[in-house]
Chain A
């Protein structure tokens, strides 16, 4: 008997026992769809985490932070210079692995911003060079970033993120029209600045969708008429989710020119040193693969400038990346295990049905053998039947996985939209195929070995 024939016989057998086959398939369908759904969820999680990582500049970004002088070098404390612009120039001149260096000088305490009759205590305000925009992956949507001219003249200009705009000038969602406070004056700790630029609104893919949906809803509500009564403000707008935290921080950016920060905000008010001390430098290296080499190089250059005093430290995103990797791996493993178990149970279901159908069909097998079916033919027929059930179930499971993913996202909305990948689908399908083969093997073997008269006499 040809292989094709075996497949046809197997398919007929399935068609002849529709209900039984459907029940058997159900196990495989659920197994495959939960496996795919599980992978989709972890993929979504990974995508969300990576998105956040990219939002803060990716792996190529290294932060050099000023540190207290280490204990063993305490006696040299008076010679410690801290991180200064001299370091920036030195790195630009001598560190070949470094692509961009951007100095940053922060206000020590959380600054108070006031404008438009409102005040807002933000958590960070930085004096930077224009290049910082590039390094931190900022996009100026309205107005412009300040220039080197603004910096060297120490002009009182600033660029803000949408989070600051929301606090001081109102959210566009609430007011119903875009709020672009260009040219408006904002006081930072009492010093007036002109807002000359505003960054775009940063958010995760998922948040973007949610916001657009909500906007559409709000537009509809406005069209329906004004609402009356007191409004409840729940305060915190960041959402507090892990991935979104990075976006929230980014939206709360306030940038001033570095020189302005030093001359207008620092030297006049503190008893600091004459040379401008930086809070930190952001460095972008040329090649992530050469991370160690770059770090060594930067360290060497800085040590020369710092007379051998190690009053600085590096912070890379590697830990974060590793953490992403391990949490994704864990999620995938545990999820895959659970889904794998359900697929396995489905496989046992197939095996059970196959065995039952063989006891039911021992006479049939006897007859087939009596007219010349070889053991191999019977074997092929049973395996094909089992694989067909599994494969059809697998295909239906792939279809159902979309439904399952949709259901899960309805029941427990997360900030990470599940993504069904081709790899997960291929894996789940291959797994169901394997389950079909394994489930068919034992019954097929049993059926093929039975002697003809023994089978014919069976009742």
Chain B
């Protein structure tokens, strides 16, 4: 079991959370609407991933807990969790 330290709920089993994926992709604004061409912001956001073998920042949702969105820094090869924080506190993007 991977355990994530939710800032609200403490150390919890990963089965309480839902994984969304890479937290370094950012959702484009409406001005990019319709732009799906190569390198286009929406196509990048929807489909392209760094998919690193190693440390990745990723979104997890504490659906069976406080329902907050978290940004978890985790190693995809060892499953070691390096950091957990509220996505809200990042402020910039989501």
Pairing of A with B: no
Question: What is B's interface to A at a CB cutoff of 8 Å?
Answer: none
